[in-house]
Structure 1
Amino acid sequence: MRPRLAPHVVVHEPAEAGTPWIVQAGQKYLRVGADMGRLLEALDGERDHEGLARRLGAPWTASDVEKAVAQLQRTRLLDDGSEHRPKGTWFKYVPPMTLQFTVLKPQWLLDRMMPLIGRLATPAGAVAAAVLALGGVIALALQTPALARSLGEPLPIAILFAVTAATFATTGLHELGHGAALAYYGGRPSRMGFMLFYMTPAFFCDVSDGWRLPRREQRTRIALAGIVVQLVVGGTAAVSALVVGRAGGASTLYDAMVVFAVSTYVSGVLNLVPFVKFDGYLALMSHLDISHLRDRAMTDARRAVARVLFGGTYARELPRLPWAVPFGLVCMVFPLYLVGVAATLWADILQSLGVLGTVLVVAAVCYLLYRLGLGARRLLEEARRAGARPWRTGVVSVLIAAAVIALTAFVKVPYTVVGGFVRDGDRIELVLAETSDVDVIGKGTEVRLQRRGVVLRTDVGTGVVTDGTPRSGTAPLSAFLPVREVDDLPMPVVSFPLRAEEAPSENYGMAYVEVGSRPVGEWLFLTYVAPTWR
């Protein structure tokens, strides 16, 4: 057998002494040691195993070469005689829930931008970026009262769309920042386009070529470049909002600039979190020079939990990192925390939108349950591979299941029906989506009325239902979303007349009906399952 590298495989020698060899197979990059790198370079199809061992010299033997070649064949790096068809790069699925659509090859654009990139990548450019980012924070602090008003009041729907478009464009600049940093260090971004990241639209730029760079600090700066762009954009918007506010006072433009600045800063800071696959994690992984840091840390954490629960003997993926287990545990839990924060901010609004909102919430809950089930299965697989005793695994699993059942049956949580209110002169109505639980609404039910902004909410009044008979009708979208100027976008509702205990000044807003406590299981059913067939 005379092994040969596959045509699509390229071997890159170390750019500097002490750095690893890089094997590029299409869009994938593998890091290998010097001995394996020399073997890969020698696979030209002219020598058999003994000939390769003679060429490579010590410590290689024909048996070593045979084992290494078998491993390379399993990873599909060798020419097997079949015609290699390069995979199309216009679409790529990245587990668990990312769909990437390539729009362009950014290298031609970055080549033309290199003079500008060179001027920005200087100490003066770094100082200017820091001044804008920190200056924006100071500018927002100087606008605290107006900031609270802008974030706590509904926006015109046109402005909300404009802020969304500006935020989307900023993510494009963010990704271009990654590509520019890679190009500055001599790499080549392979693809750029848009993606659905957990069903949220965003841009992406493939900077996998950064693995060929010799120094870890270069890869770290590439990972952080997008966040720097975001902070500069957010700072510029915040300073501009301060100027506009001082010159013309409160206005719709001012509110839009403030909301955009805050959302850009929050997005940039969130990107620094290293517990999910955001830029902060990529920067940490690059700084430590440990590939697949998060996955390996979560494996160590999962094995630590399995050892405590089920027993067994487990190997460590990252034995040299004493903090790998707690880091992995946080990585496992943090996505649930993000889902909880998002649910706190938006789940009540989505549920008040009727069937569409309910379907979105149910889809999110189903995915969350799927991830929890997948985690439980992996935990049991780790225990089985580690030699845990089946009886102990079974007993502990039953106890955990019993604890979950007890939690859902006996622990109670507040149950709230979310809707909106409409005021027409002295008449006020509670309006609910047709999928809402109207059976718990009756004469004398107390209702809390709120003004809902993009981020903040404020109590504006209270009321009491005067007639428990629901009436069908329509209500503006402003009663359910933090937007205004959408009177021509009605949605079907059921309504109940209210007597104002404390009358609101707003014509539209959110309404919350607190109807006591329910066991967790019943609460989950009423909140996420029952609305699908009401």
Structure 2
Amino acid sequence: MTEKRVHRPRRPRDTAPLTADARPRLATGVVFERATDDAVWIALRHGVPTSRVSLTVVELLRAMDGESALGDLHRRFAASQSFESFVSLVQRSRACGLLEGGARTMPGRVVYRPPFTLQIATLRAPTFFGGVDRMIGPLSGRAVLISVAVLLVLGVAAAALQAGELLDVLATPAPIAGLVCLVIVLSFLTLLHESAHGVTLTRFGGRPRRAGVMLFYLTPAFFVDVTDGWRLSDRRQRVAIALAGPAVHAVTGAIAMTAALMVRQPVAHQTLLLLALSCTGVVLVNLIPFVRFDGYIALMSALDEPNLRSRSVRDGADFLAHLLFGGPRTGRSVKTWWSVPFGLASLITPAVLVLFAVDRISRALAGGGPVLGLLVVGLEATVFLVGSVVVARALHRVLRSGVSAIRFTSVCIALVSGIAIAGGTISLPVSATFGFTSHVDGVVLVYAGETIGTTVPDGAHVVLMTNGILANIPVGDGIVRPRRSESTTVPLDAILPVEADGARIPAVIVAGVDISDETDDLPTAGQARVALGTRNLWQTIWASAVLSPLSSLRDEK
């Protein structure tokens, strides 16, 4: 039997500017349900809450049948408001996917969200967190808050007593045994962090719809979808859901900092301090409100402004488009004075975080040989390509918004020319990164592997530093002296910010160092940076991002 298929014409997406003659239509799969507060309704798309709206907005959206003109709907539902404010509300609804032309694809098991987020999820999260909630049983919220506050106070006091040791911990190589334990504990804490979101939402009566693992801004992590929290009428509950995750890291960091006061065994003491500092860093980063971290979710919940970041980013992008290209003025999606600054910060912060991560990874793996060099260059190339695509799409949207093609082209040429000229005229110091270690005939510069392609100029100034896991402290300086290259083995912390008793790896001696001032504090191994003069910005980026990581490959050829 032959199956007969009925071909229906695909409805075009309504992405045209909203005018008085526009006829918006409620998207398929959108329903509304009353929240616990009779004055508030929840808009759901395919069963997933997207925003909290009033009854008037519900009636307006239900009246959008694709036949009624926007001007008529304005006079019917919001005659006392300006048409610009009314259009802004409709735009927000379309951006949430409530109207045709907005986002349609609902999150499933595998989701990619540009520019740097990939999620792999299970859809059975409600069952799991419901079971965890039943296991926990009755628990007083006040008792939890008091316990957390006491632990945090103890942690802050312990940190003050150990302030002098904290920088040293970041600037010295981590013991490999402690580092392995640290990675395991932090991975487990990340799981607890996300589980805390889901358990708290479940405790308040919500349902975490998805949970899983993701690659978030080049970092692997777990995640839990708590959008169902918008069903809760109490803002404090929604804020508590967002902050439950950072609270896990904050409490763990406080406990680790307090325990470090009592545990004086060197490896355990250093590992506890690293754990406390790592947890503190996680909390601080999570509270950044300009990226979709927990701090942003808490702020959005406290203000009761769904999709705050995407709406403010749109306001910031519209501001830039109007300022640079003469784009049309549109009503602000977020009716606050800080909408544009918040949106611009939300555009810039992800780029800064990614560049910082790439720079730190590149420095940590510098001098690590051809394999790690290829890894660094591959990471840099991926970030560059994704960033280029994001910028190209943004410019394409600006061009389609109706700006003058002549002005658009002129501004783009002026911006590219200005950046190119600035990069060619700004001079920056250039340095090459090596390891150093004590040898039978003094301090020598080393490079991991069997060959070295970077020429170390004789007489160049070299700064010797600790090879810390997050910081490098200068411990001496000197002048490069010529020396015949030879293969050797060096301690692990001469190449990587990790130390292990007796562990040595193959390396090449590339030069000697005449120490300027002899010091008893010079470590047996560490990181060295050799000054190579000054170059313009583009030459500096090319040398540090490409030539230096691939130097060993050039020589092998």
Which TM-score applies when normalising by structure 1?
A: 0.82
**Following the alignment from structure 2 to structure 1, what is the Cα–Cα distance between the partners of residues 143 and 53?**
38
Q: Which amino acid aligns with 1:527?
A: S
Deviations 1:237-264 (A, max 9, x none): 11111222xxxx3521111001101110
**Following the alignment from structure 2 to structure 1, what is the Cα–Cα distance between the partners of residues 123 and 100?**
33
Whether the 8 Å CA contact 1:476–1:491 is kept in 2: the answer is no
Residue 515 (structure 1) aligned with residue 524 (structure 2): no
The 3-state SS of whatever aligns with 2:403 is coil
Structure 2 CA distance for partners of 1:456 and 1:526, relative to 1, 3 Å: closer
Structure 2 CA distance for partners of 1:273 and 1:319, relative to 1, 3 Å: closer
1:16-415 equivalences under 5 Å are: 16-25=37-46, 29=50, 34=55, 89-102=108-121, 105-114=124-133, 119-244=138-263, 249-318=264-333, 320-343=335-358, 345-370=360-385, 372-415=387-430
Aligned to 1:15: 36
How many angstroms does 1:285 deviate by? 1.4
The 3-state SS of whatever aligns with 1:280 is helix
**Following the alignment from structure 1 to structure 2, what is the Cα–Cα distance between the partners of residues 371 and 308?**
25
How many angstroms does 1:389 deviate by? 2.2
Whether the 8 Å CA contact 1:157–1:486 is kept in 2: the answer is no
Structure 2 CA distance for partners of 1:109 and 1:401, relative to 1, 3 Å: closer
Whether the 8 Å CA contact 2:32–2:41 is kept in 1: the answer is no
Deviations 1:348-397 (A, max 9, x none): 22232233433343344334434543454355345434433222222222
Structure 2 CA distance for partners of 1:91 and 1:494, relative to 1, 3 Å: farther
**Following the alignment from structure 2 to structure 1, what is the Cα–Cα distance between the partners of residues 396 and 110?**
32
**Following the alignment from structure 1 to structure 2, what is the Cα–Cα distance between the partners of residues 268 and 448?**
33
How many angstroms does 1:334 deviate by? 1.5
How many angstroms does 1:347 deviate by? 2.5
Number of residue equivalences: 494
Instruction: Provide structure 2 residue ranges, at least 5 long, that are not aligned to the other structure.
Output: 1-25, 68-75, 78-92
**Following the alignment from structure 1 to structure 2, what is the Cα–Cα distance between the partners of residues 523 and 434?**
24
Deviations 1:413-440 (A, max 9, x none): 1101001012135532201246998554
Structure 2 CA distance for partners of 1:209 and 1:356, relative to 1, 3 Å: farther
Whether the 8 Å CA contact 2:42–2:50 is kept in 1: the answer is no
**Superposition CA RMSD, Å:** 3.4
Deviations 1:419-466 (A, max 9, x none): 101213553220124699855413323322111222332222233332
Structure 2 CA distance for partners of 1:379 and 1:517, relative to 1, 3 Å: same
Which TM-score applies when normalising by structure 2?
A: 0.79
Aligned to 2:473: 458
Structure 2 CA distance for partners of 1:196 and 1:341, relative to 1, 3 Å: closer
How many angstroms does 1:185 deviate by? 0.8
How many angstroms does 1:30 deviate by? 6.0
The 3-state SS of whatever aligns with 2:257 is helix
Deviations 1:34-84 (A, max 9, x none): 478689999xxxxxx9xxxxxxxx99xxxxxxxx9xx8777799xxxxxxx
The share of aligned pairs that are identical, in percent, is 33
**Following the alignment from structure 1 to structure 2, what is the Cα–Cα distance between the partners of residues 360 and 31?**
45
Structure 2 CA distance for partners of 1:295 and 1:36, relative to 1, 3 Å: closer
Q: Which amino acid aligns with 2:44?
A: V
**Following the alignment from structure 2 to structure 1, what is the Cα–Cα distance between the partners of residues 266 and 300?**
44
The 3-state SS of whatever aligns with 1:273 is coil
Whether the 8 Å CA contact 1:422–1:508 is kept in 2: the answer is yes
Quick check: 177-186 or 119-128, which moved more?
119-128
Quick check: 369-378 or 183-192, which moved more?
369-378
Whether the 8 Å CA contact 1:440–1:515 is kept in 2: the answer is no
How many angstroms does 1:526 deviate by? 1.3
Deviations 1:113-142 (A, max 9, x none): 436756544212211111212321221111
Whether the 8 Å CA contact 1:10–1:24 is kept in 2: the answer is yes
Structure 2 CA distance for partners of 1:145 and 1:198, relative to 1, 3 Å: same
How many angstroms does 1:159 deviate by? 0.9
Q: Which amino acid aligns with 1:15?
A: T
**1:481 pairs with one of 482, 496, 521:** 496
**Following the alignment from structure 1 to structure 2, what is the Cα–Cα distance between the partners of residues 468 and 176?**
57
The 3-state SS of whatever aligns with 1:352 is coil
Deviations 1:299-355 (A, max 9, x none): 211221121222132213425121111111111112233234435544222232233
Q: Which amino acid aligns with 2:193?
A: H
Whether the 8 Å CA contact 1:424–1:507 is kept in 2: the answer is no
The 3-state SS of whatever aligns with 1:522 is helix
Structure 2 CA distance for partners of 1:89 and 1:310, relative to 1, 3 Å: closer
Q: Which amino acid aligns with 2:184?
A: A
